[in-house]
Structure 1
């Protein structure tokens, strides 16, 4: 379903690669956790799957397609088969829960009759069938994330990417979100989730891929968040501190004078600013083109 074939991504000349010699595959129907410290390469992997950025070397395949051979005008169609869920929900504040989900269908020209059927189905699936007319500020954080997941899944994508989807939620609410993602996975969608949520990873016991310095240092079936792997940063076996550079394995060292790609920098490894969902971007451009009927449902 997703394959990285000897992929290296360097954002700036002279900078340490965000990912390096990445050779890994996620099969159809898998649920995979990506774990690692900030700047380890997790979000860069997601950006390449969405064709938000291209590898410097190597090839990325999604659903058997070489992304380097997909022209720019076909990228929106690619992204319609990839759902994306963010830590900060990214809901449109002036639109109800129903309308936020509805728009993901409207922008691809889904017939109104189909929209009227699918949106209530999605609200029911995420347990919000009685809150379709609520605005985002009238919903709890967990409910907003459920709406965001429904919006990402309403087109029935074959892949769902989740970037820290439980990061802003309390542990109890996070469990519900993980159960929902698990249900989506059981319906056949490949789920790849980047997270720092120890509890989520330990409870789910799915495949765990740990990144350090742009490289995969652990790929474990039914894994836990922490590991005995000697090159693990998150388990405390490898210091996440430049003061301990001499202790790093040589393959993971950054040359003197170089800095790892920052997740906070303009060319860094974070999705928060640059990786905008295609449907959200379209909504901002065309929001005024949608009037509202008496029930608060957007009209085309």
Structure 2
């Protein structure tokens, strides 16, 4: 379903890679927890699955497709099969819960008859069948996250990515969100969840992948949040965020050769924004800024990349059709004749 073959991603020349020599695969129907300190590469991994950023080196496969071979104009179609849930919900504040879910269907041209059937089904699935007319500010944090999950899942994506979906919720509410994601997984959707929620990981006992400094240092089939492995940051065996990672080469069990030595080349910028299964909001509106203090790898992207993202997002599928381009995009236009006096 998702495979990384020797993938390295460096955002800016001279900086250490956000993801380095990544070789990992997530099978269809799996529920996987991504754990690790902030800056360990979890968000970059998800952004590459969405083809929001391209690897500097290596190949990413999603649903059997080599993402490097997918042109820009086909990316929105790819993302319709990938749902995305965020820590800060990212609901449209001027729309009701019903309309937020409806919007995800409307932007892909779903017939009204189908919309009227699917949206109530989603509200019922997430336990909000009586709150479809509520505005986001009238819902609790847990209810807002349920609406966000319904919006991400309404198109029945084969992959659901969740970036800290319980990070802003109390333990009891977080448990309900986790149960909802487990139910979606049981319906056949592959769920990859990046989290710092120790209780969630320990409770579920699913596959746990820990990342340190952009590398996978642990991959356990039925793991817990902490580990006895000496290469773990979250278990306290390495300094947080691997500030002294040069002193800790990941030689245990052959997980890596050394931290240093990877070429720091800037990859070409693809220039599109994460749409995800949160298809509606992410394709058509700019997502709000991440919560204060939440350090993500995208903070490394310079303003020029961000501007190109905004510019590229103005294009639609039709804009990239074969008929949209003239064989001579800059035809010469003869200048009008000028008299000698005008030239002077």
Give the TM bin, normalised by the shorter chain.
0.7 to 0.9
Superposed CA RMSD: 2.0
Partner of 1:57: 57
- The one-character-per-residue Cα deviations of 1:195-251 (angstroms, maximum 9, x if unpaired) are 000000000000000000110000001100000111000000112266745642264
Conserved? CA contact 1:209–1:216, under 8 Å: yes
Aligned length: 270
Instruction: Provide the rounded CA distance (Å) in 1 between the counterparts of 2:245 and 2:190.
Output: 36
Partner of 1:102: 102
- The one-character-per-residue Cα deviations of 1:167-201 (angstroms, maximum 9, x if unpaired) are 00000000000000000000000000000000000
Instruction: Provide the rounded CA distance (Å) in 2 between the counterparts of 1:246 and 1:79.
Output: 37
Instruction: Provide the rounded CA distance (Å) in 2 between the counterparts of 1:125 and 1:213.
Output: 38
Runs of 4+ in 1 over 6 A off after TM superposition: none
Partner of 2:229: 229
Gaps spanning 5+ residues in structure 2: where? 251-256, 287-344
- The one-character-per-residue Cα deviations of 1:71-91 (angstroms, maximum 9, x if unpaired) are 101000000000000000000
Gaps spanning 5+ residues in structure 1: where? 260-266, 268-273, 286-300
Task: State the Cα distance separating 1:275 from its structure 2 match.
Answer: 4.2
Conserved? CA contact 1:86–1:163, under 8 Å: yes
Write the mapping of 1:239-254 to structure 2, written as runs, cut at 5 A.
239-240=239-240, 244-245=244-245, 247-249=247-249, 251=257, 253=259
Instruction: Provide the rounded CA distance (Å) in 2 between the counterparts of 1:7 and 1:242.
Output: 20
Partner of 2:280: 279
- The one-character-per-residue Cα deviations of 1:115-141 (angstroms, maximum 9, x if unpaired) are 000000000000000000000000000
Partner of 1:197: 197
Partner of 1:289: none
Conserved? CA contact 1:126–1:180, under 8 Å: yes
Task: State the Cα distance separating 1:4 from its structure 2 match.
Answer: 0.2
Conserved? CA contact 1:212–1:252, under 8 Å: no
Instruction: Provide the rounded CA distance (Å) in 1 between the counterparts of 2:284 and 2:11.
Output: 29
Partner of 2:39: 39
Partner of 1:6: 6
Task: State the Cα distance separating 1:284 from its structure 2 match.
Answer: 3.5
